[in-house]
Amino acid sequence: MPRPIIYFARHGQTDWNAERRLQGQRDIPLNALGRIQAAQCGTILRDLFARDNLRAADLDYVSSPLGRARDTMELMRTGLGLPPNDYRIDPRLMEMSFGRWEGYTYEELQLREAQSLAAREKDKWGFVLPEGESYEQLVVRVRDWYESIERDTVVAAHGGVCRALIAHLGIEPKETASLGDIGQGCLYVFAAGGMTQHP
């Protein structure tokens, strides 16, 4: 029996995203562009559902507890004509903790944490950030969440969570799943063992 389809949106942009600061589990709100991107995700979803002859109300909706993901979910649901607040929160979808690195840019960390930063570059997946997590730890809770879903689901979460899902589903090996950008204002559809990006 095929696994449920996941419609995954990374939250819209925040000021810390724009400044390239590590957010992790800090609760930084969407900025004006981020709200536009979140609404755009709702439009993309509406078009995908129309293409596939799906009723938006028939899917499950779940968000990370962080405000930037919740606001993204509520703007998407508004665009779908659904009550904005009628969705579930799951703490397993919270972004990876960057511990004491949260709030810093990589340039700032090169001055403050050069040795730890170099160690992470050698093993980006397994390195446990100071007072934080590793991708290896993150994928455990993301896998636990994924195995619990029972029907097609719309998700609002984070770039790290998306990378963990990509690795768990074997779409990319963990060495490359931790690299590359996870876009904002677009949708990732996980289905039939693969992933597509829209638009």
Nearest to 194, CA basis, from 161, 172, 163: 172
How far apart are the C-alpha atoms of 14 and 33, rounded to whole Å?
8
Work out the angle at residue 155's Cα, subtended by the Cα atoms of residues 162 and 40, and round it to the nearest 5 degrees. 95
Cα dist. 92→54, 59, 67 in Å?
27, 19, 15
Active-site residues: which are they? 11, 95
Nearest to 140, CA basis, from 95, 91, 92, 97: 92
How far apart are the C-alpha atoms of 71 and 78, rounded to whole Å?
11
Cα dist. 49→26, 152, 173 in Å?
33, 11, 30
**Bridge partners of residue 156, in order along the sequence:** 9, 63
How far apart are the C-alpha atoms of 196 and 80, rounded to whole Å?
21
